[in-house]
Homo-oligomer: A and B are copies of this chain.
Amino acid sequence: MATKPAPRVVKVAAAQLGPNQKAVSRASILDRMLKLMDEAAAQGVKILAYPELALTTFFPVHYLADEDEIASYFEPTSAADPYAVLSSPHAKPLVDKANALGIDFYIGFAERWTGEDGKTTDYNTCIYYSVAAKNGVGKYRKVHLPGTKEPLPNPKAFQQLEKKYFTPGDLGFPAFRAPGLIDGALKAEDVGQEANSVAKGDPIMGMLICNDRRWPEAWRPYGLQGAELVIEGYNTTAWAPQYDGTPEEQQKLAEFHHRLSCQAGSYQNALWSINVAKCGIENEQGLIAGSMIIDPLGRVVAESKTMDDELIVATIDLSMCQSQRGRVFNFEKHRRLEHYGMILDQVGLQEIPLLSRAS
């Protein structure tokens, strides 16, 4: 029997948010977020996760024609300052409090990026703010944008227009290390002495946003990079007039698919995940709750109970990832790349011909 790896313990939390109605002020949203950070600090939390598009209402469910209104939901960033959102008045109070309390945080927001050529591109983005680094140390742009580019013609239809408002993420699935969280972790100056020493460095983190969690192709790159914790914020529609079933049935199904996807992603990649909702009835549209912290065996260890602002907390041991990685999910021993080619060879479904028999 293998000896247990040394524990790598950190206290984490999901800051589930209730609805951000269109009519309310940005300041009042920020106040609720700050209050949850205070609660987290009181419990000794070191990593706090806010949802996708946490600073505003979930505007992609509306067809908006007014460019000024659209712009009001975005935070500017640029090649010169990729984490500019952290100095925006819409987020700076979070940074100040995080520094005062010693809490790292993940936050989702709409990003209007100005590249080196001066052109702007809009993304559905999240960043990880590190107190030890006094800056963002991780950025991710949503790869799997759901919905359509054009609004559905049916006037009663529920709209999901992320493909209209955002460009698919261009950063891939970049894992990163978050400093200052684990006592005795190897540091930058140790590089070269004990580089890549398995799970002795700072925690390896990954980030996803909402619909990404349904795609195994989004989780696997983090597993392959050794991520120990993936954070994922979401706004997930509970029902829509064009779907089958009563609103209650639809909501139950949406919750089931959310849970199934997050548990499978964690289990199959042997990593912790924090999954955090914006939820409740927002601008008359229901969003599911179900924020949860999941262990590397796919088990839910903490789960929200309300459809409103709520903190869920867990003390997690990152070293748990290592046991699974030595056994069932030892990728090196068990993965067979020679048979996975189709995953990269074709984008869409290519139904096999009518006359197809194996030899």
Tell me if B191 and A353 are in contact (CB < 8 A): yes
| CB closest residue in chain B, given A163 | B333
- A330→B144 CA distance, assembly (Å): 11
1/0 per residue, CB under 8 A from B, across A219-261: the answer is 0110111100000000000000010000000000100110011
- Tell me whether A201 is interfacial, beta carbon within 8 Å: yes
The interface residues of chain A, by DSSP majority, are classed as loop
Contact at B358–A171, with CB atoms within 8 Å? yes
* A188 / chain B contacts, CB cutoff of 8 Å: 354-355
Give the contacts of A118-151 with B (CB-CB under 8 A). 133, 136-140, 143-146
C-alpha spacing A263/B333, complex, angstroms: 25
Q: Is A204 an interface residue (CB 8 A)?
A: yes
Q: Is the CB of B217 within 8 A of A335?
A: yes
In the complex, whether A196 has a CB less than 8 A from a CB of chain B is: yes
The answer to whether residues A298 and B256 also contact, given A196-B354, A225-B351, A352-B226 and a CB cut-off of 8 A, is yes
Question: Which residues of B lie under 8 Å from residue A202 when comparing CB positions?
Answer: 354
A288 to chain B, nearest CB (A): 14
Q: How many copies does the complex hold?
A: 2
Q: How far is the CA of A253 from the CA of B346 in the complex (A)?
A: 35
Asked whether, in the complex, the Cβ of B354 is within 8 Å of the Cβ of A344, the reply is no
Given contacts A263-B260, A351-B198, contact A137 B358 (CB under 8 A): yes
With a 10 A CB-CB cut-off, give which of A176, A261, A354 has the most chain B CB atoms.
Answer: A354
Closest to A225 in B: B352
Contact B353 A335 (CB under 8 A): no
A284 to chain B, nearest CB (A): 20
A353 touches B196 (CB 8 A): yes
* Residue A332 at the chain B interface, CB threshold 8 Å: yes
* Partner pick for A358 among B176, B223, B329, B354, CB 8 A cutoff: B176
Q: For residue A6, which residues in chain B have a CB less than 8 angstroms away from its CB?
A: none
**Contact partners of A264 in chain B: CB under 8 A:** 216, 260-261, 263-264, 268
Set of chain B residues within 8 Å of A137, measured between Cβ atoms: 357-358
Report B-chain residues with C-beta under 8 Å of the C-beta of A325.
Answer: 349
- Cβ of A154 within 8 Å of any chain B Cβ, yes or no, is yes
Task: Give the top 10 A-B pairs by smallest Cβ distance, nearest first.
Answer: A332-B348, A216-B216, A226-B351, A264-B264, A201-B354, A188-B355, A221-B342, A172-B339, A138-B358, A137-B357
Can you show 10 pairs from A to B with CB atoms below 8 A apart? A139-B359, A143-B336, A144-B334, A176-B352, A211-B334, A220-B342, A220-B343, A261-B267, A261-B268, A263-B264
A interface list, Cβ under 8 A from B? 1, 82, 133, 136-140, 143-146, 154, 168-169, 171-177, 186-188, 190-191, 194-199, 201-202, 204, 211, 214-217, 220-221, 223-226, 242, 253, 256-257, 260-261, 263-264, 267-268, 297-299, 325, 328-344, 346-359
Q: A82-B359, A331-B349 are in contact. List 7 more A-B contacts (CB 8 A).
A: A136-B358, A144-B335, A177-B352, A177-B357, A191-B355, A224-B346, A264-B268
